[in-house]
Amino acid sequence: MPVWDHWYEPVEGNDTLRQGDIFRGLLVYTLPQDLPAPDTPPAPGSRIPVDVVWARGDWIIMSASCDVDRPADVYPHVVLGRVLPPTRDVLGTKSDKEHNERIEVIKKGLEPGRFMLSECPSAAPPFPQSVVQYRVHLTMPSSYLRRNCAGQRLRLRSPFRESFGNWVGANISRVGPETHTLIPGNPAVQTWPIHTLRAADAE
């Protein structure tokens, strides 16, 4: 049984939503950073001129299944995470060696901001090995997502769905010190992904 058959359940013609559903080529809309901040509230019913930013790509549902299963008037917006192949540009690595090390770090769950997804060559179209970027996420209307359920999408199976959900929850709830209160680093010592791997393997 291929590894991806353990990871995914193909879903088609079903508008139920679950955490871990992957939408391929989804058109999403976001508000720009320079939204107007008027001194007085706009008049009721008036239109505010805003240039909405749009993009098409792969996205995964990060909201909990028990929320996205509710009607739109109860849970109107769904949190989505960006899904991208882990290329050197995406990961910001400078060499093949560094890139391969970073891939292994993400596979082991040691990079908090990224979650590794298995490839699925049997999907239509084939789904490459990818990473979910936590810091690149947005919300979309739940009814809009249901209208985009006509084609095939991949749904994470258990226990990978639970693993993904725990990763999302850990990112949402994590609390760290402000940057200026961190313990200062030692400029004479450099650390790389291989050092993280060695430390994890030593546990």
The tens digit of pLDDT for each residue in 98-152 reads 999 999 999 988 888 999 999 999 998 999 999 999 999 999 999 999 999 988 8
Alpha carbon distance 53, 31 (integer Å): 6
Q: Judge whether 133 lies within some domain.
A: yes
**Does residue 63 fall inside a structural domain?**
yes
Distance of alpha carbon 203 from alpha carbon 198, whole angstroms: 9
Q: Rounded distance, CA 72 to CA 56, Å?
A: 23
Residue 179 lies in a domain: no
Examine residue 119 and state whether it is found in any structural domain, yes or no: yes
Buried b (16+ CB within 10 A) or exposed e, 125-158: eebbebbbbbeebbebebeebbebbeeebbbbee
In a domain, 42, yes or no: no
Give the residue-averaged pLDDT of 72-99: 95
Q: What is the pLDDT of residues 168-200, one digit of tens each?
A: 999 999 877 777 777 777 888 888 877 777 776
Task: Indicate the number of domains in the chain.
Answer: 1
Residue 38: inside a domain: no
Mean pLDDT of the chain: 91
Q: Are 18 and 65 in contact (CB under 8 A)?
A: yes
Q: Tell me if residue 79 falls in helix, strand or coil.
A: strand
- Confidence at residue 127, expressed as pLDDT on a 0 to 100 scale: 96
Residue 69 has pLDDT above 80, yes or no: yes
* Residue 15 placed within a domain: yes
Residue 19: give the domain boundaries.
3-33+48-174+189-201
Check: CB of residue 81 under 8 Å from CB of residue 59. Answer: yes
DSSP code per residue over 124-167: SSPBPPEEEEEEEEEEEEHHHHHHT-SS-EEEEPTTHHHHHHHH
Q: Which of 92, 78, 83 is nearest to 154 (CA)?
A: 83
Q: Given this model, what pLDDT does residue 37 score?
A: 84
Interior angle at CA 163, CA 176 and CA 79, nearest 5: 70
3-class secondary structure, 69: coil
